[in-house]
Amino acid sequence: MNKPYIIGIAGGSGSGKTFFLNRFLDHFSADEVCLISQDDYYFPVAHNMTPEENKLYDFDQPSTIDNDQFERDINKLVAGETIYKEEYTFNNPNIEPKILEIKPAPILIIEGLFIFHFKGIGDLIDLRIFLDADEEVALKRRLKRDLIERGYSHDDVMYKWINHVVPAYKEFLLPYKTGCHKIIINNTQTADNIQAVTDEISKELREKILS
């Protein structure tokens, strides 16, 4: 198997990465593309915490990610190996974690907050995509997600946003924005807008990689 074409997709919390990824993946079959997410490589610490400790723990730091395992698994995919990884459920007791089977493919997508910051991973990436949104829009999305999907209180979400999320974005992600090949401003999350962007990128990839 030839080395896959590696796409790195990063963006701050609330930038709409998941929405973008879902629209993007719709353009490809399962044997054409595979996705590996930084979110599944958090060190398993949250289950030992009280709610107050969880509130104060800063998940928006590179040190919370098992970067060594993340990089090893990426390199296995590059080498044509299938990997198996338990998904991370963000301390939600209502979700039973699944075992993820990630098979190698001609296009490998790596997504996450720190993927450009981790040099060993960043150096592998052929196409860097940066998703961005105005802070007010991003916060609204973060509130909706964390209140509904992850069971946090409004005060906890705001504490993390002010003390963890925004400082981490400015330190570990924003400095890499200008070095990205494509910068996508995603303030509306309108399906038509994102669809048009993913149509364009996927067409380029089909002509360049899959033809």
Query: pLDDT (tens digit, 9 = 90+) per residue, 34-44?
Result: 999 999 999 87
Q: What pLDDT, on a 0 to 100 scale, did the predictor assign at position 1?
A: 58
**Cα 205 from Cα 128, distance rounded (Å):** 13
Q: Which domain holds residue 195?
A: 5-210
Residue 174 has pLDDT above 90, yes or no: yes
CB 127 within 8 A of CB 182: yes
Q: What pLDDT, on a 0 to 100 scale, did the predictor assign at position 93?
A: 64
State the CATH number of the domain containing residue 154: 3.40.50.300
Q: What pLDDT, on a 0 to 100 scale, did the predictor assign at position 121?
A: 97
Q: What pLDDT, on a 0 to 100 scale, did the predictor assign at position 69?
A: 96
Quick one: three-class SS letters along the chain? Answer: CCCCEEEEEEECCCCCHHHHHHHHHCCCCCCCEEEEEHHHHECCCHHHCCHHHHHHCCCCCHHHECHHHHHHHHHHHHCCCCEEEECCCCCCCCCCCCEEEECCCCEEEEECCCCCCCHHHHCCCCEEEEEECCHHHHHHHHHHHHHHCCCCCHHHHHHHHHHHHHHHHHHHHHHHHHHCCEEEECCCCCHHHHHHHHHHHHHHHHHHHHC
Of 88 and 121, more confident: 121
Q: How confident is the model at residue 151 (pLDDT cuts 50, 70, 90)?
A: confident
Count of domains observed in the chain: 1
Q: Which of 15-19, 82-86, 193-197 has the lowest mean pLDDT?
A: 193-197
Share of the chain above pLDDT 90, in %: 63
Q: What pLDDT, on a 0 to 100 scale, did the predictor assign at position 164?
A: 95
Mean pLDDT (the chain) is: 89
Q: What pLDDT, on a 0 to 100 scale, did the predictor assign at position 40?
A: 92
pTM to 2 decimals? 0.89
Q: Which of 56-65, 77-86, 92-101, 169-178 has the lowest mean pLDDT?
A: 92-101
For residues 173-182, average pLDDT: 96
Q: Would you say the C-alpha torsion 108, 205, 134, 146 has a positive or negative sign?
A: negative
**Cα 14 from Cα 17, distance rounded (Å):** 8
Q: What pLDDT, on a 0 to 100 scale, did the predictor assign at position 66?
A: 95
Q: What pLDDT, on a 0 to 100 scale, did the predictor assign at position 21?
A: 92
Q: Which of 51-60, 95-104, 131-140, 194-203 has the lowest mean pLDDT?
A: 51-60
Q: What pLDDT, on a 0 to 100 scale, did the predictor assign at position 28?
A: 93
